Chain A
Amino acid sequence: MRNRLKVLRAERDWTQGDLAERLQISRQSVNAIETGKYDPSLPLAFKIADLFGLAIEQIFRRD
């Protein structure tokens, strides 16, 4: 699965640490999701979508 997390984060001038803090997850998790090493669970994907005010499919896309 591909995602736009890095772009969305950069648009807001957030570091991975900033995003991790807002999502209440580890910076390692943010990095793993951004680099496509880990696909988040549905609840976490909803949390990410809510934070950016977007729908899940606007952030995560099928390969």
Chain B
Amino acid sequence: MAGSLKNPAYRRYLLRTIPVAIGYIAAVLLASWLIPDHAPATPLTIAIALVPGLVVLGWVWAMARLLIELDDEYLRLLEVRKILVATGVTLAVTSIWGILELYTDVPRLPVFFVFPLWCLGLFVGQLVNRLTLGDGGCR
């Protein structure tokens, strides 16, 4: 989300998201290793599978804190625009794919991919910022 790190709010964001990103990847890999394919939903499998989900909540919290702590209104605008674009991209892709799933036999899109898709949308938002304002984010 952030560029380079003159603003302390971006530095704090990075310090929060690096461990969260590592934790997310580790938790997904661990859950994939511990839980066999098509395992029944028992308290144990649910508990293991919930770990990556809780890590995602940490990421959402870090992004919320960034918006709260950014004291520069223009930089905050850039971040809010990225989030709006990401949300729009996610709604567009999932809604269209959902309708395709409803009426045709296209492959099912697991809900798991919604968050990675939204993160990809943040990069699209950064690109939109660069193209429209000439500015991607913090420097």
Q: Say yes or no for B105: interface residue by CB 8 A criterion.
A: no
Give bound CA distance, A21 to B33, whole Å.
52
Across-interface contacts of A26 in B (CB, < 8 A): 6-7, 72, 74-75, 138-139
Across-interface contacts of A32 in B (CB, < 8 A): 74, 133, 135
- Residue in A closest to B75 when the chains form the complex, CB atoms: A26
Across-interface contacts of A15 in B (CB, < 8 A): none
Q: Which residues of A from 17 to 50 have beta carbons under 8 Å from B?
A: 24-29, 31-33, 37-38, 40-41, 44
The interface size of chain B toward A, counting residues with CB under 8 Å, comes to 13
The interface size of chain A toward B, counting residues with CB under 8 Å, comes to 14
Kindly count the residue-residue contacts between A and B in the assembled complex, taking CB atoms under 8 Å apart. Answer: 36
Shortest distance between the CB of A21 and any CB in chain B (Å): 11
Across-interface contacts of A24 in B (CB, < 8 A): 71
Among the listed A25, A28, A40, which residue makes an inter-chain contact with B135, where contact means beta carbons less than 8 Å apart? A28
Query: Other CB < 8 Å A-B pairs besides A26-B139, A38-B74, 12 of them?
Result: A26-B7, A27-B139, A28-B135, A28-B138, A28-B139, A29-B72, A29-B74, A32-B135, A37-B133, A37-B134, A40-B73, A41-B73
A-B contact pairs, 14 of them (CB 8 A): A25-B73, A25-B74, A26-B7, A26-B75, A29-B72, A29-B74, A29-B75, A32-B74, A32-B135, A37-B133, A38-B133, A40-B73, A40-B74, A41-B73
